Amino acid sequence: MDKALERIKELDREIRTLNGIEALLGWDHHVYMPERGVHQRSEQTAYIASLSHQKVTNPEFGDLLDKLGASAENPLGSKSLSDDDRRLVRAVYRDFHQQTRVPGSLVEEFARVTSIAQSVWTEARKKSDFSLFRPHLEKIVDLNLQLADHLGYTAHPYDALVDQYEPEITTAQIATVFRQLREALVPLVRDIKAAKQVDTSFLRQPYPVELQEQFGRAVLDAIGFDSQRARLDRSVHPFTTTIGVDDVRITTRYLADLVTSSLFGIVHEAGHAFYELGFAEGFRGTRLADACSLGIHESMSRFWENVIGRGRAFWSHFYPQFKETFPDQLSGVDIEAFYKAINRVEPSLIRVEADEVTYSLHIILRFELERMLIGKELKVKDLPHAWHEQSRDLLGIVPDGDASGVLQDIHWSGGSIGYFPTYALGNVYGLQFTAKLREQIPDLDTKVRHGEFAPIKAWLDTNVHAHGRSRTPQELCQQITGNPMSAEPFVNYLKTKYRDIYDL
């Protein structure tokens, strides 16, 4: 049994090495690569990806899992193994069976259809014309239905799709949490709309990019971003990627006329980086040194961006320095006006520009439509109409064309259905964890006001980051909070914060 386990760890080291190389190629693609490098880079990336797919689906894993006593009824394997080794066995079992259940012909068909669909989507969005993209999306929905059948599910085919990103969560569980969110957020947004709007004009003026970068780097330093193990660069779309256990890259973009974009973008990506850098030492080289789920990953980035970064305490520490950096832009703007401006709420059509309150409503809209498409209750041709209806119900506004509605996101063109819910689940988990963090560090705000971020990071390291993929999201949530997933802490947080800001 020991030998089988050692062999699994050996195979995992190869897989992790390939993952790191693939990530580095991707990072370079988006940060440094000259435009015309793209064709050969695609070949290089595809080559590494197929090598890594071969390694993950190596039939040897099947034999090793048998030797370790793992089965569908008992994916953790033999009880004589240590707890962490059993969790590694479970992760291997899950990956191996998930990957080998899907026929190679379907994987190839997915790649072929989505590579065309992505370029058509770009064109269709430019022309704001859904009819161009529609036949491609029909194929993508059909391929996802086939995928769900191969992956397997009990209640709803959408369960199988969402499970790829958020292990072991069901459509019904998501629907329950999203109903709680919807019932609380729709009236809150309505009340905010009726209240006096806050002024944000001083944020929308020229802020020199070099100074934005300088301030962003100072914030990273202060919150504990370790420049020996991580770095910040620029790219068109901000992202975080992991080259190795001691090498995590984050990126941002600087908009000269919107200072908040890079500022909160950096803090958001730092939250992702802290997670990637915080896995337990003992997991190094294995697949347990990875995120628990996309929802948990996003809970960390949103915690830093919103709970910490858009909080009063954070700015009572940083505002003097920020104002010193931008004296003209912020002349006459006190901290209270600044705090309100960075937390302005307003229903808007574009998800990626949404504020903290309306953001989850954008996600609920997509979840409802995806669930109906996959449940065959909605046809692709009726999608723009359904989008309008949902948008009116959830946000009180309707798109003025396909580009600001059904064509705005890249996800479907890439074949991803079931991904969106993880963004809102991140908010939900994040505030559940925050409630516990506040219980255990009662003077959290005082610490933040004094610029003491180390205790927060240490708490997250111990309670969230270290566990990596050894827990399922629901096990982690239960372990940290003593409760299953619940929207209540997030809803309470939003109500308290925004009733104060909008004087409701």
Binding site for Mg ion (CB under 5 A): 301
Measured from the CB of residue 305, what is the shortest distance to Mg ion in angstroms? 9
Measured from the CB of residue 393, what is the shortest distance to Mg ion in angstroms? 26
Write phi, then psi, for 338 (nearest 5 degrees).
-65, -45
SS3 content of the chain, % helix, strand, coil (to 5): 65, 5, 30
Q: Among 256, 291, 333, 294, which Cα is nearest to 422's? A: 294
Measured from the CB of residue 315, what is the shortest distance to Mg ion in angstroms? 22
Name 188's Cβ contacts closer than 8 Å, sequence gap at least 6. 357, 494, 495, 498
Which DSSP string do the residues of 389-422 spell out, in sequence order?
HHHHHHHS---SSSTTTTTS-STGGGT--S-THH
Q: Are the CB atoms for 428 and 493 separated by under 8 Å?
A: no
Choose between 261 and 301: whose C-beta lies nearer to Mg ion.
Answer: 301
Write phi, then psi, for 233 (nearest 5 degrees).
-135, -175
Write down the catalytic residue from 22, 138, 166, 269.
Answer: 269
**Element holding 209 (H helix, E strand):** helix 209-223
Whether 269 is catalytic is: yes
Tokens of 353: 């520009």
Write phi, then psi, for 169 (nearest 5 degrees).
-105, 150
Measured from the CB of residue 269, what is the shortest distance to Mg ion in angstroms? 7
Residue nearest to Mg ion (CB): 301
Q: Would strands 240-244 and 230-234 be described as parallel, antiparallel, or unpaired?
A: unpaired
Tokens of 118: 């992505």
Tokens of 351: 């998800």
Name 21's Cβ contacts closer than 8 Å, sequence gap at least 6. 48
Choose between 144 and 301: whose C-beta lies nearer to Mg ion.
Answer: 301
Beta-ladder partners of 244: 247
Tokens of 110: 């997915």
The CA-CA-CA angle for residues 367, 373, 376, to 5°, reads 135
Choose between 260 and 301: whose C-beta lies nearer to Mg ion.
Answer: 301
Q: Would strands 230-234 and 247-252 be described as parallel, antiparallel, or unpaired?
A: parallel
Choose between 48 and 300: whose C-beta lies nearer to Mg ion.
Answer: 300
Measured from the CB of residue 268, what is the shortest distance to Mg ion in angstroms? 6
Choose between 173 and 240: whose C-beta lies nearer to Mg ion.
Answer: 240
Choose between 238 and 311: whose C-beta lies nearer to Mg ion.
Answer: 238
Measured from the CB of residue 483, what is the shortest distance to Mg ion in angstroms? 24
> Which positions are catalytic?
269
